Structure 1
Amino acid sequence: MSKTDHLQFVTVESLLAYGEALSRLPRIGEAVLPGPIAPSADRVRQATAAQAGILSVVERAAAGFADAGAYRAARQELIDGPCGGDALVFYAAWNRLVAEGRLVSLYRAAIGRVQKPPIRRPVAIVPRAQLTPQLAEGRIVLDLGDDRFWLLPRDLTERTLLFAMRHGISQVESKTHRVGCRLANVLDQERGIAKAEAVGTALAKILGVVGQQLDYLHVHNYLDPQSFVHLVSRSPNTTQLYQRVSAALAAGRGESAAPMTADALESQDFGWVTGIEKAAEAEAAAQAFGVDAKVAKTLLKHPLYCYPGGNSFFDTYVSVVDGIHRLAEAHRGTVACLYTHSSTLRALMIFLDPRPFAEAFTEFGEYKEGQDNVVLLTYENRQISGYSTAVGLSQRERAEREAWMSVERTRRDRVMLKPQQVRRIVALVSGGDFAGAGAALKELRVTGNRFGLEVYFVRHGFLGLANNWIEKVSEQDTRMLGSRPSSPIGSSRFEDFKDEQVQRAAVRHLEPFLRDGALVVLGGDGSLRGARAIYETFGVQVVGIPGTIDNNLAGTTSLGFHSAIRLADQSIESLKATSSAMGSVFFVEVMGAGSGHLALACAYQARAEGVLVNEHPDPDAYIDEVILGTLKRSLGVPNKSHLFLVAERTPHRHHPEGGVHGLPEFVAREVAGWPQVRPHDGHYPLTPATKATILGHTLRGAPPTPEDKAIAQHLAYETIRRLVERPADVVGCMLAYRDQAAVEAIPLHALAPKPFDWELFMRMHGRERE
Structure 2
Amino acid sequence: MIKKIGVLTSGGDSPGMNAAISAVVKSAISKGIEAYVIREGYKGLINKWIEKVDTTFASDIISRGGTIIGSARFPEFKEESVRKIAVENLKEFGIEALVVIGGDGSYQGAEKLTNLGINCIGLPGTIDNDIVSSDYTIGFDTALNTVVRSIDQIRDTMQSHSRCSVVEIMGNGCGDLTLYAATATGAEVFSTKESFLTEEEICQEVKNLAKAGKRSVVVAVAEKLYDAHSLATKIEEASGYVTRATVLGHVQRGGSPTAMDRYLAVNAGIFAVEQLIEGKGGLYIGMSDNKLVARDINSTLNMPKPDKSQEYQKARKNNLSI
Conserved 8 A contact 1:646-1:659: no
Match of 1:664 in 2: 232
CA distance in 2, matches of 1:591, 1:486: 16
Matched, 1:624 2:211: no
Correspondence 1:676-695 to 2 at 5 A: 677=240, 688-695=241-248
Secondary structure (helix, strand or coil) at the match of 2:154 reads helix
Matched, 1:462 2:42: yes
Match of 2:131 in 1: 553
Correspondence 1:373-384 to 2 at 5 A: none
Go from structure 1 to structure 2 and tell me whether the alpha carbon gap of 1:754 and 1:559 turns closer, same or farther (over 3 Å shift).
Answer: farther
Secondary structure (helix, strand or coil) at the match of 1:644 reads strand
Conserved 8 A contact 1:581-1:639: no
Match of 1:594 in 2: 173
Matched, 1:698 2:240: no
Conserved 8 A contact 1:425-1:518: yes
1:437 counterpart letter in structure 2? M
Conserved 8 A contact 2:148-2:184: yes
Match of 1:483 in 2: 63
Deviations 1:95-120 (A, max 9, x none): xxxxxxxxxxxxxxxxxxxxxxxxxx
Conserved 8 A contact 1:594-1:648: no
Deviations 1:269-297 (A, max 9, x none): xxxxxxxxxxxxxxxxxxxxxxxxxxxxx
1:766 counterpart letter in structure 2? K
Go from structure 1 to structure 2 and tell me whether the alpha carbon gap of 1:703 and 1:576 turns closer, same or farther (over 3 Å shift).
Answer: same
CA distance in 2, matches of 1:487, 1:535: 24
Matched, 1:764 2:291: no
Match of 1:135 in 2: none
2:159 counterpart letter in structure 1? S
Secondary structure (helix, strand or coil) at the match of 1:457 reads strand
Deviations 1:504-539 (A, max 9, x none): 222221123456x21110001111122122223x23
| Aligned-residue offset at 1:716 | 0.7
CA distance in 1, matches of 2:177, 2:6: 30
Match of 1:143 in 2: none
| Aligned-residue offset at 1:739 | 5.5
TM-score, normalised via structure 2 length = 0.91
Deviations 1:32-72 (A, max 9, x none): xxxxxxxxxxxxxxxxxxxxxxxxxxxxxxxxxxxxxxxxx
Conserved 8 A contact 2:167-2:246: yes
Matched, 1:734 2:314: no
- How many equivalent pairs are there? 316
1:479 counterpart letter in structure 2? S
| Aligned-residue offset at 1:737 | 1.7
Aligned mate of 1:519, from 98, 103, 106: 98
CA distance in 2, matches of 1:431, 1:664: 32
Matched, 1:754 2:322: no
CA distance in 2, matches of 1:476, 1:722: 24
CA distance in 2, matches of 1:450, 1:561: 29
Match of 2:275 in 1: 722
Match of 1:349 in 2: none
Conserved 8 A contact 1:434-1:547: yes
Match of 1:433 in 2: 13
Secondary structure (helix, strand or coil) at the match of 1:735 reads strand
CA distance in 1, matches of 2:237, 2:180: 29
Correspondence 1:443-462 to 2 at 5 A: 443-462=23-42
Deviations 1:651-686 (A, max 9, x none): xxxxxxx35253112223323xxxxx4xxxxxxxxx
Aligned mate of 1:509, from 78, 89, 95: 89
CA distance in 2, matches of 1:430, 1:539: 20
Correspondence 1:264-279 to 2 at 5 A: none
Conserved 8 A contact 2:229-2:244: no
CA distance in 1, matches of 2:146, 2:272: 28
> Structure 2 stretches of 5 or more lacking a match?
none
Matched, 1:646 2:221: yes
CA distance in 2, matches of 1:570, 1:444: 31
Correspondence 1:212-291 to 2 at 5 A: none
| Aligned-residue offset at 1:637 | 6.4
Secondary structure (helix, strand or coil) at the match of 1:701 reads coil
Higher strand share: 2
Secondary structure (helix, strand or coil) at the match of 1:665 reads helix
CA distance in 2, matches of 1:555, 1:502: 28
RCO comparison, higher one (Cα < 8 Å, 6+): 2
Secondary structure (helix, strand or coil) at the match of 1:455 reads strand
CA distance in 2, matches of 1:690, 1:756: 32
1:464 counterpart letter in structure 2? G
1:624 counterpart letter in structure 2? E
2:84 counterpart letter in structure 1? R
Go from structure 1 to structure 2 and tell me whether the alpha carbon gap of 1:745 and 1:706 turns closer, same or farther (over 3 Å shift).
Answer: same
| Aligned-residue offset at 1:747 | 0.7
1:710 counterpart letter in structure 2? Y
Conserved 8 A contact 2:23-2:58: no
Conserved 8 A contact 1:647-1:659: no
TM-score, normalised via structure 1 length = 0.39
CA distance in 2, matches of 1:695, 1:667: 19
Match of 1:612 in 2: 191
CA distance in 2, matches of 1:629, 1:640: 16
- Tell which structure's C-alpha radius of gyration is larger: 1
Conserved 8 A contact 2:18-2:62: yes
Match of 2:158 in 1: 579
Go from structure 1 to structure 2 and tell me whether the alpha carbon gap of 1:454 and 1:534 turns closer, same or farther (over 3 Å shift).
Answer: same
Deviations 1:661-712 (A, max 9, x none): 53112223323xxxxx4xxxxxxxxxx2222111111111132000000001
CA distance in 2, matches of 1:521, 1:514: 17
| Aligned-residue offset at 1:547 | 0.7
CA distance in 2, matches of 1:745, 1:754: 18
Correspondence 1:340-489 to 2 at 5 A: 421-489=1-69
Conserved 8 A contact 1:614-1:649: no
Conserved 8 A contact 1:577-1:641: no
Match of 1:563 in 2: 142
Deviations 1:328-358 (A, max 9, x none): xxxxxxxxxxxxxxxxxxxxxxxxxxxxxxx
1:709 counterpart letter in structure 2? R
Correspondence 1:15-164 to 2 at 5 A: none
CA distance in 2, matches of 1:642, 1:634: 8
Go from structure 1 to structure 2 and tell me whether the alpha carbon gap of 1:753 and 1:558 turns closer, same or farther (over 3 Å shift).
Answer: farther
Go from structure 1 to structure 2 and tell me whether the alpha carbon gap of 1:659 and 1:472 turns closer, same or farther (over 3 Å shift).
Answer: farther
CA distance in 1, matches of 2:131, 2:304: 5
CA distance in 2, matches of 1:753, 1:575: 35
| Aligned-residue offset at 1:636 | 6.6
1:568 counterpart letter in structure 2? V
2:131 counterpart letter in structure 1? L
CA distance in 2, matches of 1:603, 1:666: 21
CA distance in 2, matches of 1:562, 1:487: 16
Secondary structure (helix, strand or coil) at the match of 1:571 reads helix
| Aligned-residue offset at 1:496 | 2.2
Query: Kindly, what percent of the aligned residue pairs are identical?
Result: 32
| Aligned-residue offset at 1:632 | 2.1
Match of 1:634 in 2: 209
Go from structure 1 to structure 2 and tell me whether the alpha carbon gap of 1:578 and 1:635 turns closer, same or farther (over 3 Å shift).
Answer: same
CA distance in 2, matches of 1:643, 1:571: 11
Conserved 8 A contact 2:6-2:98: yes
